[in-house]
Structure 1
Amino acid sequence: MEFLAMLYTVLLVAICLMMALLLFRSGRPAGGLDEADCEELKDWLEEQLAAQVREFNARQDAIAQQNYAAIRSVSETLQTAVQSMSTTLGQGQDSQQRILERRLQSLEQANNQQMEQLRRAMVESMTALQAENTRKLDEIRHTVDEQLQDALQKRVTESFKAVNQQLEQVYKGLGEMQSLAADVGGLKQVLSGVKTRGILGEIQLGAILEEILAPEQYDTNVATIPGSTQRVEYAIRMPGADGGSVWLPIDSKFPGDTYAHLQDAYASGDAQAVEDARHALELVLRSEARDIREKYVEPPYTTAFGILFLPFEGLYAEVVNAGLLEVLQRDYQVNVAGPSTMAALLNSLQMGFKTLAIQKRSGEVWQLLGAVKTEFDKFGQGLAKMQQRLRQTDEELDQLIGVRSRAISRKLRGVQSLDEASASALLEIDDMNELPKALSETSEISDQVGK
């Protein structure tokens, strides 16, 4: 602050000197101040400024010394206070540390005592818990042993019972197998005869035909060739030219011995035996196909081919695998069919029969439609006449209701009206609303007929 005051003082003195110089110049007459006077005044101002600067520097040095002394005094005082405080804090810290150590020691002792008590309590609890667990485990073991013993005994009893039942079923199955073996033996004995095997094939073929075709679509024991004594087991009546019919001969064959030899050859694994059995089966089938062609096929009385029916799918599969289907069809005009293929063939023929029947009936349907059209034209003419009559009746009713009713109303305008009950009693009419209602219904009927 003193430094600033000195600075302000120097500036103020300089400003005053400048103002004095200006006043001095303005007060003297023109030409009264020469160069010497100006130099003298300048020197005097410089001396004054230099004196002020020296005084300012001296004061600034004094202020700096005072400030240094004050700062040093304050520093010494602070250092002394810090040392005193450090000593006091050190003493207090030692005291607090001793107190803290004593408290920690007492706390550690108390903690050790509590931990010891807790350990003893835990040991006692664990001992009691172990004893209780041992007792409960003994009880559980005893209970489990009893339950296991009961369950094991029950399971063993049930197992023996199930084994006995299964043994009984096995004995029963053995009895059934023996009975089945006896039946198979009887069937084998039955099939050992050629005539018996033929009858079995005929029965199976007849069942298939009866299931799919209508009775009038096939026949049994048919002499397909006129004048011939050879009769085929079954023949299907096929549509022919000019509304006639031709026969499709079907003969059932079952070369059981040859097929059995082939199965035995397969079971033995002998390739040569299998080949020989296949060749024998081919010869038998060729002979049967030749008989069908020569005995039962004679166009135009029959179709150009016949059908050889094999009653077992295994035998038919063997014919297919050997490639005999094409051979018999090409060389003898005979198709081979098993039970499944025979059913498919008959279903196809049935669809053809239905299509042919529809074609035959189409002319009758057209005639019936023509008759219906003629009768419908007559019916339309009758409806037109009825519509004309109803329209004429409607016009007459409109004239009656409109012209006549208005004329009557004009005549009766001066007559006082009665209530409905009095009018009904006077005119002996049960309901006055019947006449308008009847007229309304008649009008509606006329409108509907007109539409």
Structure 2
Amino acid sequence: MPSLSSMLLIVLAVLGGLNLFVLVQLLRQTGSDQDPDSQWQWLQTTLTALQRDQHSGAERTERELRGAVLAAARDTRVELGGGLAEFQRLLMAQSGEVARTQNEQIDSFRIQLAAMQTGLDQRLAGLQGGIEQRLVSMQGSVEQRLSNLQGGVEQRLASLQADNEKKLDQMRATVDEKLHATLEARLGESFKQVAERLEQVHRGLGEMQTLAQGVGDLKRVLTNVKARGVFGEVQLAGLLEQVLTHEQYAVNVATVPGSNERVEFAIRLPGRAVGGAPDAPVWLPIDAKFPREDYERLLDAHDRADREAAEAAAKALEQRIRDEARSIAAKYLAPPHTTDFAILFLPTEGLYAELLRRPGLTEALQRQHRVTLAGPTTLLAMLNSLQMGFRTLALEQRSSEVWSVLGAVKTEFAKFGDVLAKTKKKLLEAHNTIDDAEVRARSMARKLKSVEALPEPEARALLPVESGVARDGDAATAG
């Protein structure tokens, strides 16, 4: 239904068209003899009148149209309300009819389903009874057949298992005998070598214990000097002979190459002089000095309680020792053929004590001339220290020999491990062979399930087990 505004527009358009048509007709009737101004005024007057008429007509038309539209709308609402009420009444009636029809159909279906279920229950009960009877009869038949089949299979498997066990026992005995003999031979040889090596190690350890005992004796000597007492005027040769061996020192040695100066005693230290032979030793010069006159003058001054004379004698004795130290350094020290110091031996403890009392004397001799003073007890301690060094060196050499023996033993143990690994490999191969034989036996048993067993006498006649086993044993022995 068109709206009120669109209808007004249509009416206005129609009125405008009519006005335009009237104007055109009026212009045709007036003719062309009038002047334009009068025509224009007449047109304006006519248009104004037409506009007033058109406006009033439009308002009147609008009022009429609005009234008509409102009346039509009221009529339409009334008709729609009546139609909707009638439609709702018809719909409710049809819904009730449909519900009654569905309820009747559902009741009919329920009755039919109950009848069908009753019939199915009866049929299923009958079928279940028949099936149970058939299953019971089939179960009895199957159990009987399985029992018969199991008895036959057990008999066949028992006979096959007995034969296989006999053959496997003979094969195992042959393999074990060979492996045992080989293993005993290899193990005996390896243990013999190990025992020899261990015996060598034991001898080396015994020698090391002897050397350790000697080192302990030396320690007791060094830590208990007072038990030795004061040696007095013990000569240098006696001390050297007492502590060292003849190979460890020499007498009247030319320590400086190309020199005719010979020191009284020199200790042979292990080493190698530069440019010398590989076994050339390094000499430690030891020279004995006894300034008897100077020492006796000092003792006389002490006996007289002459302080000035004693001081003068002490200075003279000190100067004499300095000169002797300078001479020893010049004549007998030549590193690297010798050590970088020498020993000046004083044969009495009293003389050594007097020189030690001189302030700074021993330090000056060591610093300026590289000469060390030593009395009988001090020299004995030095010689014992050197002897301990010689023994320690010998101990290290013997230790290297012991380590060599232990290395050889380790090598033999490695070989022994290889032998054990090979033996283990052979045992695993034999075990795998036996497992393969068992697998084949089980496979043969499965294949022979369908074969009926013969009586034992006929089976022995056809398959002589003893001869077959003997042949297998011979083949295993040859292998």
User: Shared topology, TM-score over 0.5?
Assistant: no
Structure with more relative contact order (C-alpha pairs < 8 Å, separation 6 or more): 2
Q: TM-score range by the shorter chain?
A: 0.3 to 0.5
TM-score, with normalisation over the residues of structure 1? 0.39
